[in-house]
Structure 1
């Protein structure tokens, strides 16, 4: 079976409400996770602000909006003791959440973007000596 072409980000892919639902559902799941939850709880002081930033990030990735302002690589490089298992768990929980979206093109693009984000962060984290 050939791979499907990657959907293009844009307003036709999903609504802003879909992005909000994805981000909030995923991070609720991640915060409750035995492996990831303690990391998030130790490093995120203001969850409403963090979720708003993450909605902006995923809105940029999925809808092509341009309001995201942040430095995710640098922020993650500053975290201690991240490992490949954490990134794998993050991806597994993300895929579990996107599978519940009822929007196959959004799911496909979000999953592909999440894989790129995780791979980039892990590679940069390793290169920085993490």
Structure 2
């Protein structure tokens, strides 16, 4: 189904479809499986729904620390972000009309860039110091 409006219901359906793909993916599925047991997925999806609702619909429901959660995993690589974003883009294009999909993808890229900067940028490596 392609949604014409971004609502809590369409966002929930999109996220369910997206994370179903994520969990089946050969590259990032194992990362998620290690961090989130099957029984914890409903609660995790509720947190993700709160996050994206806050970001996209300005609901203000999310009160967590996404950077800290990702940092704690310690196993993330740039390739994981690329795959996550690719699946996000694919699912957004399937779920929403082009204008809405583009807005979601743009926001996901900005959030991903921010997370990657915090996780992977090492000034001592860039400047040659600390070696």
TM over 0.5, yes or no? yes
In the alignment, does 2:10 pair up with 1:21?
no
For 1:59 and 1:105, the matched residues in 2 are separated by 18
In the alignment, does 2:31 pair up with 1:39?
yes
Deviation at 1:64, TM superposition (A): 1.4
For 2:49 and 2:15, the matched residues in 1 are separated by 6
Structure 1 segment 7-18 matched on structure 2, within 5 A: 13-18=5-10
In the other structure, the counterpart of 1:9 is: none
For 1:90 and 1:68, the matched residues in 2 are separated by 21
- 102-111 or 92-101, larger mean C-alpha shift: 102-111
In the other structure, the counterpart of 1:99 is: 93
Select the structure with the greater relative contact order (CA < 8 A; seq sep ≥ 6): 1
Deviation at 1:128, TM superposition (A): 6.9
Deviation at 1:13, TM superposition (A): 5.0
For 1:47 and 1:117, the matched residues in 2 are separated by 22
Deviation at 1:48, TM superposition (A): 0.6
Task: Answer yes or no: is the 8 Å Cα contact 1:36–1:90 preserved in 2.
Answer: yes
Q: Deviations over 1:38-63 (max 9, x none)?
A: 00000013111100010111111221
Which of structures 1 and 2 has the bigger CA Rg? Answer: 2
Match of 1:77 among 66, 71, 75: 71
For 1:98 and 1:122, the matched residues in 2 are separated by 21
Deviation at 1:69, TM superposition (A): 1.6
CA RMSD of aligned residues (A): 1.8
Q: TM-score, normalised by structure 1?
A: 0.84
| Paired residues, number | 118
5+ long unaligned stretches in structure 2? 124-131
